Amino acid sequence: MPVTTEADRIVDELVTAILEGRYRPGEQLVQRKVAEDFGVATITVREAFHRLSPSGLIEVTPKVGAHVVELDFQKVRELYFVRMALEGMSARLAAMDATASEKKRLQRSGERLDKILNSSKRCEPEAIKMHTQFHLDLAAASHNEYLQKLIENLTLVRVLWHNSEWHKRQLVTRAIRNHDALIDAIVAGDADAAEAILREDIHSGLMEVEEAEERQALG
């Protein structure tokens, strides 16, 4: 959707600032300070906060204000379960409906993604950006606008999680094994396999979260 108002622009810039870590998880977003940061009126910031709240990136509490969401294990667990359902469906629909050019795009981005994710640079911002774009391209190839919009919002929260200091410090990210198999299934039009592969890959990530939670509980 094109940017048409000042509030639209601030929403877009706030998303970028949060995902880049300029506003940290749990940080209070003071309207006056944010307005100064972006050079706009506080009323514009207030409107942007309310527009951004449904994305899950910030929480707005009446008479308290807004803050960047701080994800705990329960929220991350919920995120993974929803991703399995929605992104698994996007893989199924992409296998059924992706165009030839969309399949080629996924093949190219998958090759670049696997290369960087299995290198020492895997947790750097560029890797996170590429991984995010791959999943957005996959959602677009589903040709389902409702599903695509839901996945876009989930992706924002997922990036916030992967950008967190806890994730970078504690969670040992596995080698990504299934992008080739996923793309092969989509190219072949095998909807059952595409959905199963992506759901299993996300489930493996959930198991890592569960294991990390246990390690933290044990000290």
H runs (alpha helix) in 98-174: 100-117, 125-140, 145-163, 165-170
What pLDDT score does 46 carry?
A: 92
As a CATH number, domain 73-218 is 1.20.120.530
What pLDDT score does 173 carry?
A: 46
What pLDDT score does 73 carry?
A: 86
Domain ranges of the chain: 6-68, 73-218
CATH ID of 6-68, from 1.10.10.10, 3.40.390.10, 3.30.2000.10, 3.40.50.880: 1.10.10.10
Q: What is the mean pLDDT of residues 103-132?
A: 77
> Which of the two residues, 81 and 162, has the higher pLDDT score?
81
Tokens representing 161 are 């999680």
DSSP-derived letter for residue 174 is P
Count H helices and E strands in the chain, helices first.
Answer: 10, 3
- Report whether 199 contacts 88 (CB < 8 A): yes
Determine the Cα–Cα distance for residues 162 and 125; give it in Å rounded to an integer.
10
Q: What is the mean pLDDT of residues 74-89?
A: 92
**Most confident by average pLDDT, 50-59, 92-101, 109-118:** 92-101
CB atoms within 10 A of CB 5: 12
DSSP SS3 for 2: coil
The rounded percent of the chain whose pLDDT value lies above 70 is: 85
CB atoms within 10 A of CB 208: 14
Going by C-alpha positions, the residue among 128, 211, 136, 133 that lies closest to residue 164 is 128
CB atoms within 10 A of CB 80: 19
Determine the Cα–Cα distance for residues 210 and 91; give it in Å rounded to an integer.
25
Q: Side chain identity at 75, as an amino acid letter?
A: K
CATH fold match for the domains 6-68 and 73-218: no
Mean pLDDT of the chain: 84
pLDDT digits over 119-172, tens only? 765 556 677 778 888 899 999 999 999 999 899 888 888 878 776 655 655 544
pLDDT digits over 27-79, tens only? 999 999 999 999 999 999 999 998 888 888 898 888 888 999 888 888 889 99
